[in-house]
Amino acid sequence: MDATALGSLLVGAGAIAGAAVAYLGKRGETALTGYSSLTDNLQEERDRLDRKSAEQALALAQQAAERAADQAEIARLRALVIHLGGTP
């Protein structure tokens, strides 16, 4: 085998190795892009759930205020009935 043939084989091996490295690098890039996309989706879902939780907490606070007002009204009406001589 002369130097030209050996050089051609080395160039061919280098090209194959370069293609393998490029392929593996592209797979890694694709995996990284997928991971970033997944992270973005998870952050959006977390933000959506945070907003939903805040809305539910507000609704519960409003219901608690309405319940307290209803209980105060019931107590007032009971006191009025007792004051007028009725039974509660």
Q: Is the pLDDT of residue 88 over 60?
A: no
Give pLDDT, residue 62: 97
pTM: 0.52
Cα 59 to Cα 46, 62, 69: the distances in Å are 20, 5, 15
Q: Using one digit for the tens of pLDDT, what is the confidence trace for 16-64?
A: 777 666 666 666 666 667 778 888 889 999 999 999 999 999 999 999 9
Q: What's the rounded Cα separation, in Å, for the pair 40 and 76?
A: 54
